[in-house]
Amino acid sequence: MNMIQAINSAHKVMMARDPDVVVFGEDVGYFGGVFRATEGLQREFGKTRCFDAPISEGGIVGTAVGMAAYGLKPVIEIQFADYIYPGYDQIVSEVARMRYRTAAEWTMPMVIRTPYGGGIFGGQTHSQSPEALFTHVAGLKVVVPSTPYDAKGLLIAAIEDPDPVVFFEPKRIYNGPFDGHHDRPVTPWAKRAEAEVPDGHYTVPLGKAQVVRQGAELTVLTYGTMVHVALAAVEENGIDAEVIDLRTLVPLDMETIEASVKKTGRCLVVQEATRTSGFASELVTLVQERCFYHLEAPVERVTGWDTPYPHAYEWAYFPGPKRLKFALEKVMAD
Amino acid sequence: MSDADPNSRRNAPALALHVPEPPYRPGDEPDFSSIVVPKAGEAPRPDTAAHPRETFPLTDHLVRVLDDEGRAVGPWDPKVDPDTLRKMLRDMVTVRVFDDRMYRAQRQGKTSFYMKCTGEEAIAVATAAAMHRDDMHFPTYRQQGLLVSRGYPLVKMMCQIYSNPGDHMKGRQLPIMYSDKEHGFFSISGNLGTQYPQAVGWAMASAIKEDSRIAMGWIGDGATAEGDFHSAMTFATVYNAPVILAVVNNQWAISSFSGIAGAERATFAARAVGYGMAGLRVDGNDALAVYAAVQWASERARSNNGPTLIEFFTYRAEGHSTSDDPTGYRPAGEAQAWPLGDPIARLKQHLVALGEWDDERHDALVKEADAEVRAAQKEAEKLGILPEQGRSNIESMFDDVYAELPWNLQEQRAACLKEAGHD
């Protein structure tokens, strides 16, 4: 399966298992979603389980809150993460805080799925990576898968989780992994082990990172599309790095991070999002706080620039092989 | 000469920005004789299955049942039995006494904040009487009458206000932000308007599950300007959700009058028909009109005939909250000049006119309510008042952010307890 098929499969598994799972959002019903993630769900489960929504992110999240209050498990789609902001008040003020403000009298077991990230010539409003706006909100869990296998397992885990989960799907890697070399042909998922996705129910636990490459001299912390970019850069530069795919940003798998950095003594954090106050800043701080006496060099960040996501300058903006090479050299030289 | 040539506009009149102003400001003598108050009994009552457009005339009218002599007249008379009327009167009196006591408690420094609903008691109380006990409300902070009417213990309300150990929300919420699932009262949020689409979503869920329960969303006149008002109206009509959406138009949003929210050119009820929703405009100080309108809308929702917007026309007789001084923006005598009178006095007059009530019984009722509220207050204060709270059970501050406590909150809890000297 590619990542879209894996996400589609997660929906089907959970809708069949749990009659309280409802799926809605813009174009997700009859048409099956602009990225085909919900294809066939309405046909299989009927119009009251999977349906189209008006173009109103505030309304989609707001009604989902009411449904969760009733006892349903809404799995809603925001067409692009760049358009999640009209729903931000409902997400931050309502979804995230319901369990806390009512001392668990009401809870919000829901999943907010949204395609995110750049590398597709999406320009300013089809490329953003706003995860830090959500990792900063107490009460939300934030997940970013990087493979079809994880996407399905994490989405099922998110739907079954008692807390609200914002599920960012890196759309650049829906159809195949992307190593940052935009001038080379795209490889499909089909040839990869991570595309072996079981048909039935399985989960990838939230809050658990995965060491995707064992290494001894440097720890790379990353997630989403950048997992593949980082893996390629590490190989190309001949560095024996340990690459960690965080998979869940909140709650963060600090144990895995700490063990790795204490072993390697060096750390590079890689994200697509803009730099200032990005999630990388949180990771750098945590590593500095907890691994200071093991560090042999300052912790480096590779990120998008602090500008809105540009169209024509896609590859000057996107943190690709060259930016990673410079950063790897710097952190290894110190 | 091109369109872009500024010379071409030399003779055009200067454009003028209109900023609505209330008719009276502090120092003025309020005179509401210009407000059209239709006679009680005048408004027609359409079938509950009527097409939304048939309700359009009613959105610029005012459904009223009680006439000046306190008689119930016209097609909207819900013919409520005297026992129910007496219960409504009792609940309204209790709410008013409760508000006064809690306002005073705030002034005495026993808590940080309070909000009264004086003058608006009929709306929540009569609504609760007209709906089923298991219907769900998504209230604002001014529908305490729903809880009182549904028998929620006054002591529990007060414990919430005092943030004391009797508060089941563990002191996390500002006073009056009640929540009680058992009493069909959804958690109140400080963020205005958010509960409106939530009510619609709850109603959609009820329809998805082929349930028979309905939801009711509440909003004030000021908050109708929020985007959530629009999304709620859109989703409610798109999915024909079994929901009642109430706008409590009490003329004031803190210091801004309803004209700033858009009331100068159209009623709030009139917005309904533009969305394809039935709309009613109701005398909010007439408990029977409120009861009748909610009954109509409930029947409509329960029969899959769709949602209804009800504008309750009323007046916020007191300040916005304990943090507000209304003499800074409106005349002192406005509440007294308000043409729809006082909801408690009007229901009392009706019961007296029916021969089911008298001054003596009323005085006894007020005394009884006062004693009940005082006793509850005593009980609640035994469990503590706000200034005494916040020094114990600090570790509970970290619970319920998530179902399970993550490592970072475990660490922060330990640090917090150390800081507080509890380690």
Mutate to test the interface with B, among A102, A108, A166 (most CBs of B within 10 A): A102
**Segment A48-60 mean pLDDT:** 98
Token representation of residue B217: 């969303």
Rg (CA), chain B: 23
Average pLDDT, chain A: 97
**Bridge partner residues of A248 (DSSP):** A143
Chain pair A-B, CB pairs under 8 angstroms: 146
**Segment A55-75 mean pLDDT:** 98
- List chain B residues with CB under 8 Å of A87: none
Residue B1 pLDDT: 47
List the alpha helices (DSSP H) in B209-286.
227-238, 270-275
Residue A191 pLDDT: 87
A101 vs B172, B215, B403: nearest CB: B172
**Segment A147-161 mean pLDDT:** 98
Residue B9 pLDDT: 77
Q: How far apart are CA A251 and CA A138, in angstroms?
A: 10
pLDDT tens figures, A249-303: 999 999 999 999 999 999 999 999 999 999 999 999 999 999 999 999 999 999 9
pLDDT tens figures, B59-96: 999 999 999 999 999 999 999 999 999 999 999 999 99
pLDDT tens figures, B154-165: 999 999 999 999
- List chain B residues with CB under 8 Å of A103: 168-170, 172, 399-400
Of B166, B168, B244, B234, give the one whose Cα is nearest residue B203: B244
Question: Which residues are CB-neighbours of A190 under 8 A, at least 6 positions away?
Answer: A2
A93 vs B189, B232, B234: nearest CB: B189
CA distances from B294 to A196, B245, B289 (A): 56, 10, 9
**What is the amino acid identity at position B350?**
H
Q: How far apart are CA A252 and CA B294, in angstroms?
A: 49
| Angle, CA of A188, A190 and A194, to the nearest 5° | 105
Of B235, B247, B311, give the one whose Cα is nearest residue B43: B311
Q: Which residues of A are catalytic?
A: 126
Of B95, B100, B168, B169, give the one whose Cα is nearest residue B128: B95
* Residue of chain A with shortest Cα separation from B400: A100
- List chain B residues with CB under 8 Å of A252: 408
Largest CA distance in chain B: 83
- List chain A residues with CB under 8 Å of B200: 62-63, 66
Whose structure tokens read 């026309």?
A: B313
Residue A296 pLDDT: 97
- List chain A residues with CB under 8 Å of B163: none
Residue A85 pLDDT: 98
pLDDT tens figures, A103-119: 999 999 999 999 999 99
Residue B6 pLDDT: 65
State yes or no: pLDDT of B2 exceeds 60: no
Query: Which bin fits A12, alpha (ψ -120 to 50), beta or left (φ > 0)?
Result: alpha
A63 vs B197, B209, B408: nearest CB: B197
- Give the other-Cβ count within 10 Å of B29's Cβ: 8
Residue A259 pLDDT: 98
Please tell me the distance in Å from B410's CA to the nearest CA on chain A.
Answer: 12
Token representation of residue B380: 């609640």
pLDDT tens figures, A294-328: 999 999 999 999 999 999 999 999 999 999 999 99
Burial (Cβ within 10 Å: 0-12, 13-18, ≥19) of residue A274:
buried
- Residue A77's SS3 state is strand
| Angle, CA of A70, A74 and A77, to the nearest 5° | 145
- Beta pairing, strands A248-250 & B243-249: unpaired
B221 in Cβ contact with B284 (< 8 Å):
no
The fraction of chain B above a pLDDT of 90, given in percent, is 93
**What is the amino acid identity at position A234?**
V
State yes or no: pLDDT of B4 exceeds 70: no
Q: ipTM beyond 0.90?
A: yes
CB-based contact A66 B200, cutoff 8 Å: yes
**Bridge partner residues of A222 (DSSP):** A245
**Segment B382-401 mean pLDDT:** 93
B242 in Cβ contact with B22 (< 8 Å):
no
State yes or no: pLDDT of B417 exceeds 90: yes
B181 vs A93, A106, A162: nearest CB: A106
Mutate to test the interface with B, among A105, A163, A166, A256 (most CBs of B within 10 A): A105
Any B CB within 8 A of A307 CB:
no
| CA dihedral of A279, A103, B192, B176, whole degrees rounded to 10 | -140
Any B CB within 8 A of A55 CB:
no
Average pLDDT, chain B: 96
H or E element, residue A302: strand A300-304
Q: What pTM does this model have?
A: 0.97
Sheet holding A21-25, edge to edge: A50-52, A21-25, A73-77, A111-116, A165-170, A141-143, A248-250
Q: How far apart are CA B314 and CA B267, in angstroms?
A: 13
pLDDT tens figures, B238-249: 999 999 999 999
Burial (Cβ within 10 Å: 0-12, 13-18, ≥19) of residue A218:
buried
State yes or no: pLDDT of A186 exceeds 90: no
Q: How far apart are CA B161 and CA B389, in angstroms?
A: 12
CB-based contact A101 B169, cutoff 8 Å: yes
SS3 percent helix, strand, coil of chain B, rounded to 5, is 45, 10, 50
Q: How far apart are CA A12 and CA A10, in angstroms?
A: 5
Q: How far apart are CA B37 and CA B43, in angstroms?
A: 11
* Residue of chain A with shortest Cα separation from B135: A70
- Residue B57's SS3 state is helix
Question: Which residues are CB-neighbours of B405 under 8 A, at least 6 positions away?
Answer: B398, B399, B413
CB-based contact A56 B234, cutoff 8 Å: yes
B168 in Cβ contact with B156 (< 8 Å):
yes
DSSP characters over B183-215: TTBPPP-SSTTTHHHHHHHHHHHHHHTT----E
Mutate to test the interface with B, among A21, A52, A56, A258 (most CBs of B within 10 A): A56
Question: Which residues are CB-neighbours of B83 under 8 A, at least 6 positions away?
Answer: none
Count the residues in chain A: 334
CB-based contact B170 A62, cutoff 8 Å: no
